[in-house]
Amino acid sequence: MRAVTWHGKRDVRVEDVPSPQILNPRDAIVRVSSTAICGSDLHLYNGVFPAMKSGDVLGHEFMGEVVAVGSAVTNLREGDRVVVPCVVACGSCFFCTGKLFSCCDNSNPNQLESEKLMGSPTAGMFGYSHLAGGYAGGQAELVRVPFADFGPIKVPQDIPDDQLLLLSDILPTAWMGAENCHVRRGDTVAVWGCGPVGQLAIRCLFLQGAERVIAIDNVPARLVLAAAAGAEAINFETQDVPDLLYEWTGGRGPDACLDAVGMEAHGTGALNVVDRVKQAVGMESDRPSVLREMIRCSRKGGNISILGVYAGNVDAFPMGVAFSKGLTFRMSQVHVHRYKTLLLDLVLEGKIDPSIVISHRYGLDEAADAYRMLNDKADSCTKIVLSARKLARSPELPPDARTVPDFASSLVA
């Protein structure tokens, strides 16, 4: 089958790879119809995220049709149309029981490695480094989906892919980020980053009752899209963010600040130059200029909601300011499974249309160009969707792909 593979910094290729097989009883194999390139894939593309190996299949947002199920999967059958959560979760560990699905104890095959770094193993993710388990990703024609009896979201056949695809990651990410702002009546929320996640977060914040949302970015087209949802826009290249937030809130500051940028923030000023140099030579993995600005701008006692991906360490974190202002920090990799039903219903009821952020469509074979384009933000690119349907051939499952190996399932009778 064809798949998008990572081979190093800014080296993404589309090549023939072996088709996946069912490896465990709870696996399924999904034939991909649509898959997206996520802003967080750019961290991998630019080589700032650790634990990638040359040849890894990329992609964590995908949907398609179930073509094979393992012996323990009883709730899905061949032909079902599913959106697959980007996070792999078992559904039965302490953390899944507590709805902290991206903290799943059992879905990361590289338990000890993850534990060494994090203190305890975090969940597996599709196509997002060996730190997240080394699962082959969704920018491919076929994908093996572990714990398929728990993860995939069954969706109706008659809704276009574009409206459903983003249920796998960025719509639940945006919704969770908005929830972490703990919006109360009259609240003003400032959103740093108006990429696809930021755009959807702005809409989720209004749905959750925010009075005002202030959108911060430097790409004019993105600010226009944010304004279309009712947000007030600040261009950080031409305007002074702290000054404007101070003025617009009468010195009180936004009640909540949401980071939809993460570890590769553009930033301005001397400290960001230091961060860039450190990141380039490996002294500091993440550039936290947005985080610093949010701490400075937030109102006292405000909520800091962090969605942008951070992978390692940050320097010059203004802890004293955060402490003195009594801020609350809430963050995590998205707990997709928590919002499966809620968000599917919102989409089907037409209360939110995630497809508004999709700006470009390519075939899977054109992925290398698509990555370059997203990274350069040429043409004010927002969200790219790759269609696996445009390929001429249809990949075949290997004859033994449906055979589940004998396994220790007797242990859990």
Partner 1 sequence: MYELDAPFDRYHVSGVHVTGAMAVMRDPMSLYLAWRDLTNLDRIIERLESVEEISSTRSKWTVLGPANSRYTWEADLIMDEPGRRLSWKTVGDPDVASAGTILFRELPADRGTLVRVSLEYAPPGGTVGDVVARWFGSDPAMFIRGALHRFRQVMETGEVAISKGQPVGKNMLRSDRPFESDARSSDAFVRDIAFGKETT
Site membership for partner 1, residue 406 (CB under 8 A): yes
CB of 374 to partner 1, least distance (A): 20
Q: Which of 90, 225, 297, 357 binds partner 1 (CB under 8 A)?
A: 90
Indicate which single residue of 33, 65, 67, 93 sits in contact with partner 1 (rule: CB under 8 A): 93
- 20 scored as a contact of partner 1 (CB under 8 A): yes
Among 74, 157, 238, 410, which residue interacts with partner 1 (rule: CB under 8 A)? 410
Total number of residues that touch partner 1 (CB under 8 A):
57
Select the span of 51-59, 176-184, 223-231, 324-332 touching partner 1 (CB under 8 A).
51-59
Per CB under 8 A, the segment of 22-30, 40-48, 161-169, 232-240 that binds partner 1 is 22-30
Choose, by CB under 8 A, the member of 56, 259, 286, 293 that binds partner 1.
Answer: 56
Cβ at position 305, least distance to partner 1 in Å: 28
Asked if 400 is part of the footprint of partner 1 (rule: CB under 8 A), the reply reads no
Residue 411 engages partner 1 in binding (rule: CB under 8 A):
yes
Convert the chain into a string of H (helix), E (strand) and C (coil).
Answer: CEEEEECCCCCEEEEECCCCCCCCCCCEEEEEEEEEECCCHHHHHCCCCCCCCCCEECCCEEEEEEEEECCCCCCCCCCCEEEECCEECCCCCHHHHCCCHHHCCCCCCCHHHHHHHHCCCCCEEECCCHHHCCECCCCECEEEECCCCCCCEECCCCCCHHHHHHHHCHHHHHHHHHHCCCCCCCCEEEEECCCHHHHHHHHHHHHCCCCEEEEEECCHHHHHHHHHCCCEEEECCCCCHHHHHHHHCCCCCCCEEEECCCCECCCCCHHHHHHHHHHHHCCCCCECHHHHHHHHHCCCCCEEEECCCCCCCCCCCCHHHHHHCCCEEEECCCCHHHHHHHHHHHHHCCCCCHHHHEEEEEEHHHHHHHHHHHHHCHHHCCEEEEECCCCCCCCCCCCCCCCCCCCHHHHHC
Residues in contact with partner 1 by CB under 8 A are: 1, 3, 5-7, 13, 15, 17-21, 23-26, 53-57, 72, 88, 90-94, 97, 105-112, 115, 121, 124, 133-136, 140, 142, 144, 146-147, 405-412
